[in-house]
Structure 1
């Protein structure tokens, strides 16, 4: 599997998590109390996995292909800037969720708005990469390029979707399993 295929699979996995987050937001809007531990794990995983594994791998790929197409270069620069912005947004929403879990007084409408904005930013970013960045890179890439990139970037062990699920995401893993069982 090429690096871009691995990154595409990450996007599929992240989209599933964003859907789960949207369900939790709907519960909040309906006046229900969602599982805040699960919400915390969702926000934590989306931010941490993206910041520690996913975005650095993308950025490395972007640097590798930089300079090969002027039009693509502009998009690559924009995407790298979005990675930095998303890191800050992820940190901010994580702090807000943590504050809510520790009984901070935050108007529910503000909390819901922050969650919705976070989900929308993440979705917009994933869509941008899938519809603009990845196709542009695929037009340029040759088999040798993928081999060179794969040698430099070993595949990280995903603490949620990998073979071994991390302790930090136990509730999230259970929720995903329940989602799969419910879909059957």
Structure 2
């Protein structure tokens, strides 16, 4: 069911944000980090959200508004997805600059990383606490059938699925092992 898939994806995102949070702790302890892992996490959050996750949520939100009326918090979600996407790509650009040997002050990077994590967490928490319960409470069996018909993309997650995409090998290994790498 679509709601379970969305919530499962949210839990994946929370796990990846924890990996990034660990990077902040390492940097604050003046340890070096593997910036390519940061890039993989942010790239995954950007590409998977834009290609799979947010379009799936948008189906729910549009259906809700068509059949149950307009609520401000739901009407703003598509716009919020766009803003979150812009912020994610801006942060991804900073990480890519670092990987290309650009000098980015560590305190600025930490601040940007903290801001990125906070924006992601706020969005997830808002959806989990307000939006998804409202939809879950409102939708009946027929509604769920109708939204499921609108979703026709494959669901193999490139990090958490059965087949790991080559570009996400590092984070998949860390997430699956529950490790925190030091370099």
* TM class by smaller structure: over 0.9
Matching residue of 1:39:
38
In 2, the alpha carbon distance for the partners of 1:156 and 1:104 equals 36
Match of 2:60 in 1: 61
Give the match's secondary structure for 1:149. helix
Residues 98 and 104, structure 2, Cα contact 8 Å, conserved in 1: yes
Partner of residue 164, structure 1: 163
Residues of 2 paired with 1:25 and 1:85: CA distance? 23
2:89 corresponds in structure 1 to 91
Gaps of 5+ in 1: none
Shift of residue 172 of structure 1?
A: 0.6
Superposition map of 1:44-123 within 5 A: 44-70=43-69, 73-123=71-121
Residue 59 of structure 2 contacts residue 150 of structure 2 at CA under 8 Å; is this kept in 1?
no
Shift of 1:31: 1.0
1:77 to partner: Cα distance:
1.5
Are the aligned partners of 2:41 and 2:171 in contact in 1 as well (CA < 8 Å)? yes
Q: How big is each residue's C-alpha offset from its partner over 1:34-77, in whole Å with a ceiling of 9 and x where there is no partner?
A: 1111111011111111111100110111101114445x621112
CA distance, structure 1, for counterparts of residue 17 and residue 74 of structure 2: 24
Structure 2: unaligned runs, 5 residues or longer: none
Q: Distance in 2 between matches of 1:128 and 1:69?
A: 20
TM-score, with length taken from structure 2: 0.93
Q: Cα RMSD over matched residues?
A: 1.5
